[in-house]
Amino acid sequence: MKWMDKLERKLYAWRVQPFFRYVVFAMAGTYLLQFMFPGYPLLERLALTRAGLMRGEIWRLVTFLVIPDALSPLYALISLYFYYFIGTTLESRWGARRFLLYYGLGAVGAILAGLISGVGINTYLNLSLFFAFAILYPDYQVLIFFMLPIKIKWLAVANAFFFLWALINGGPIQRAAIIAAILHLLLFFGGDLYNLLRLEIGNWKRRQQFRRNSRR
């Protein structure tokens, strides 16, 4: 997209290094600190809340990005590894500047959603990285439960149903964050999603035609 190319060229005035690994490391550190000191309200101090910003706690505009979205140690380990793998892969594919644009604009959307709803969350911003990965590498295979191979595009479809379910049944905080994440994805990948959908529909029609012809 031309507008993104222009923004990316502006960033060439700055030395931008790959950074997402440090975001994941910070999330891991936050989880460990909360696990080690459960009595201290660390996550409450880091969360993005409109009330906190009104008190002048502007660090919340950044610190909410490193709040882990998992409570159990096993799920936290899996999700952090998944975020690390997906984020650093996108960073390598796009380059640090374009990834910064993608993640940064998504973070701005999450902040605006938080200002509207009263509380900002990073869950759907992180899941938007998963969607981006699935769009770029739809046939990449992962192992479910370390045994069952499945293409990432089908996990993205399941993730889309999760988004839809949460949008319908979630509260205003979730809905605002989901809408911001969806708009973010459409901003970057609207054309790619349309072409991918046309390709999948075309493939499905060809398979159906082949089956009809083979029965004759």
Provide the pLDDT for residue 216. Answer: 61
Question: Token pair of 73, please?
Answer: 């140690």
DSSP-assigned states of every residue in 151-177: EHHHHHHHHHHHHHHHHHHS-HHHHHH
* DSSP letter string, 76-119: HHHHHHHHHHHHHHHHHHH-HHHHHHHHHHHHHHHHHHHHHHSE
Q: In 33-45, which positions are buried (b, 16+ CB within 10 angstroms) versus exposed (e)? A: ebeeeeeeebeee
**Bigger pLDDT: 64 or 17?**
64
Asked if residue 171 has pLDDT above 80, the reply is yes
Write down the CATH number for the domain with range 2-215: 1.20.1540.10
Query: Hey, what are 181's tokens?
Result: 């994440």
d(CA 182, CA 142): 24
pLDDT at 215 exceeding the cut of 80: no
Signed CA dihedral, 36, 42, 48, 50: sign only = positive
Q: Which residues contact 195 (CB under 8 A, 6 or more apart)?
A: none
Kindly list the domain boundaries of the chain, sorted by start residue: 2-215
Positive or negative, the CA dihedral 159, 76, 174, 113 is: negative
pLDDT tens digits, residue range 85-113? 999 999 999 988 889 999 999 999 999 99
Determine the Cα–Cα distance for residues 175 and 12; give it in Å rounded to an integer: 35
pLDDT band at 156 (very low <50, low <70, confident <90, very high): confident
Question: In this predicted structure, what is the pLDDT of residue 1?
Answer: 57
Evaluate if residue 4 carries a pLDDT over 70: no
d(CA 80, CA 141): 18
In the DSSP assignment, the letter for residue 69 is: S
Phi-psi map region of 33: left, alpha, beta (phi>0 left; psi -120 to 50 alpha): alpha
Region 171-185 average pLDDT? 92
